[in-house]
Amino acid sequence: MHPQRWGDPAAATVLPDAARGLVELAFGLSESPAATDVALPPVGTDEVVLEALRAAVGAQHVHVDDETRRLRTRGKSTPDLLRARVGDLVDAPDVVVRPGSHEEVAAVLALAVEHHVAVVPFGGGTCVTGGLAARRDGFAGLVSLDLVRLDRLLEVDEISMTATLEPGLRGPEAEALLAEHGLCLGHYPQSFQHASIGGFAATRSSGQSSAGYGRFDQMVVGLRVATPRGEWRLGSSPANAAGPDLRQLVLGSEGAFGVITAVTVRVRRLPEVKVYEGWRWSSFAEGATAMRTLVQSGMLPTVLRLSDEAETGLNLARPDAIGEESSGCLMIVGHEGTRAQVESRRAAVTEVLAGLGGTPLGEEPGRSWEHGRFQAPYLRDSMLDVGVLVETLETATFWSRADALYAAVREALERELGADGGSAIVLCHLSHVYETGCSLYFTVATSAGDDPLGRWGRAKAAANDAIVAQGASITHHHAVGTDHRPWLSAEIGDLGASVLRAVKADLDPTGVLNPGVLIP
């Protein structure tokens, strides 16, 4: 992964000419190259601690060189990239440690407690909420616990249809190992190519095929966790009534309670057929009603996403794909499974959508979406290169409140980003639906200006305040990290915050795990 940009450096793109013209018209262009030759803060960890770490995991797996530390600094939110681009590396770890087993993770945690060193579990490093920027004051150093060597498929149970995976496996690696058994996970967040199994569990990630395969937390049936208090194994049965389901305490714990060293997931047979198609709706509200009707009648396709008018116009739709009218909203409907399953589900879904007034657009828009589904983050970098800030935020609410939430978040973003005379384009889509509600995912483009971090910080705070005022969730799948932490108590209540603190105090009594992340 590039330290100042998204993804594979070889896949980096420049802004296409047509888009460049549009961007110039909307925001003006101001070339903003990233800083080069940036110095890292010196390693602050004692040689005694480094030696102990070398003894625990092997000297070749303890790294204090600038390049490795730089690659393990923060995540990939736009503020993270903006800081990296100007050479702000104050959050760089002192040392990057790569354990090769659960036992080595446990040994590193024991050393961290003994020497009072903070530990940041590091999966794919794609976090967008500051979950890798732990507090370091009061600690004798900061270790990035890089789980990349924990990359094995440990077990496949084809009778129960479960598989046990190590946390460092990236999305494509996990799918490739499962495919050897004719199986798949079906978890495709936009960060799929770089994010890890442990990260998916630690953040309760949700992928683009969540309608068909479920959120990641719905796939998890078992966990192995290394905590400063010892090993914790969870999930001895698919379901039980043995008190509260403690797996849910670990899912979404963002490295603050322990390090996930193995995840047992429910798997599916590899789909025989995949068909993605487009539907047009005359308004966002009409499309949303169609989505709600599908989910409430138990007729969900594998992929279901709906762009609002602005996103349809700017992002997804090409005039030839959306039909003759330039207005309207594009819905992508995807079916995966056996040929028979796909045929029957597709027929049933088509009947409902046509009955509700949708216009079928055929498979071309679906193919185009599938082709570009992991490309947008590269475009964000090319926009930053010309002084345009692009960032996303997401939330979730019940169907009856979705319209009000949509309006309130848009209004907050446009008001705040327009306050200094600037302008903003706010796009939205729905791509995770439930019988009772949905997630709203916003993409914002605005001129970066002289103080992009300040501009975005104020806009994001205004959006978060609007989300809280609407009684919606501060995050549907990006997690809490450090960025959402100030708003968490408003969602879970003071009692909820106190429960989280109590669990943290029990599992991590000296507070070495991801200090400042998640826990209010």
Ligand X SMILES: Cc1cc2nc3c(=O)[nH]c(=O)nc-3n(C[C@H](O)[C@H](O)[C@H](O)COP(=O)(O)OP(=O)(O)OC[C@H]3O[C@@H](n4cnc5c(N)ncnc54)[C@H](O)[C@@H]3O)c2cc1C
Compare residues 217 and 416 and give the one whose CB is closer to ligand X: 217
302 is in an annotated binding site: no
159 is in an annotated binding site: no
3, 93, 167, 271: residue in contact with ligand X (rule CB under 6 A): 167
68 is in an annotated binding site: no
258 is in an annotated binding site: yes
Phi, psi of 201 (to 5 degrees): -70, -40
34, 53, 113, 147: residue in contact with ligand X (rule CB under 6 A): 147
Tell me which of 188, 213, 406, 441 is the catalytic residue: 441
Tell me, letter by letter, the H, E, C secondary structure of 124-191: CCCCCCCCCCCCCCCCCCEEEEECCCCCCEEEEECCCCEEEECCCCEHHHHHHHHHCCCEECCCCCCC
Compare residues 40 and 120 and give the one whose CB is closer to ligand X: 120
DSSP string, 206-233: --TTHHHH--HHHHEEEEEEEETTEEEE
Give the 3-state secondary structure of residue 456.
helix
Q: Is 99 in the site for ligand X (CB under 6 A)?
A: no
3-state DSSP percent of the chain in helix, strand and coil, to 5: 40, 20, 40
122, 213, 232, 487: residue in contact with ligand X (rule CB under 6 A): 122
Going residue by residue from 476 to 495, which x/- string records binding to ligand X, judged by CB under 6 A? -xxx----------------
Q: Specify the stretch interacting with ligand X by CB under 6 A; choose among 63-71, 125-133, 228-236, 417-425.
A: 125-133
Pairing relationship of beta strands 142-146 and 95-97 according to DSSP bridges: parallel
Compare residues 250 and 322 and give the one whose CB is closer to ligand X: 250
Compare residues 366 and 377 and give the one whose CB is closer to ligand X: 377
Give the residue from 156, 158, 163 showing the smallest Cα distance to 266.
163
256 is in an annotated binding site: yes
Compare residues 19 and 356 and give the one whose CB is closer to ligand X: 19
The DSSP code for 239 is S
Q: Measuring CA to CA, how many Å separate 516 from each of 91, 199, 209, 263, 466?
A: 13, 18, 32, 25, 24
Distance of closest approach, residue 79 Cβ to ligand X, in angstroms: 12
> Contact, 96 vs 63, CB < 8 A?
yes
Compare residues 280 and 460 and give the one whose CB is closer to ligand X: 460
> Contact, 318 vs 298, CB < 8 A?
no
Q: Measuring CA to CA, how many Å separate 178 from each of 21, 158, 164, 174, 264?
A: 44, 11, 10, 6, 13
Q: Is 191 in the site for ligand X (CB under 6 A)?
A: yes
380-419 residues in contact with ligand X (CB under 6 A) are: none
Q: Is 45 in the site for ligand X (CB under 6 A)?
A: no
92, 96, 132, 427: residue in contact with ligand X (rule CB under 6 A): 132
Going residue by residue from 198 to 237, which x/- string records binding to ligand X, judged by CB under 6 A? xxx-xx-xxx------------------------------
User: The sheet that has 303-307: what strands, in order across it?
Assistant: 359-362, 273-281, 329-337, 303-307, 424-433, 437-447, 388-398
Give the residue from 469, 475, 466, 470 showing the smallest Cα distance to 518.
475
Q: Measuring CA to CA, how many Å separate 376 from each of 14, 34, 83, 281, 373?
A: 12, 20, 20, 23, 7
155 is in an annotated binding site: no
Q: Is 196 in the site for ligand X (CB under 6 A)?
A: yes
Q: Specify the stretch interacting with ligand X by CB under 6 A; choose among 84-92, 194-202, 358-366, 442-450.
A: 194-202
CB atoms within 10 A of CB 339: 10
Q: Specify the stretch interacting with ligand X by CB under 6 A; choose among 65-73, 252-260, 328-336, 411-419.
A: 252-260
Compare residues 132 and 361 and give the one whose CB is closer to ligand X: 132
45, 190, 227, 464: residue in contact with ligand X (rule CB under 6 A): 190
Instruction: Please give the residue whose beta carbon sits closest to ligand X in the complex.
Output: 199
> Contact, 296 vs 213, CB < 8 A?
no
Q: Specify the stretch interacting with ligand X by CB under 6 A; choose among 122-130, 241-249, 361-369, 458-466.
A: 122-130
Distance of closest approach, residue 374 Cβ to ligand X, in angstroms: 8
Q: Is 441 a catalytic residue?
A: yes
Known binding-site residues for FAD equal 203-206, 254-260
Known binding-site residues for substrate equal 380
Active site residues: 441
- Contact positions toward ligand X, by CB under 6 A? 6, 75-76, 120-128, 131-132, 147, 167, 189-191, 195-196, 198-200, 202-203, 205-207, 254-255, 259-260, 377, 477-479, 514, 517
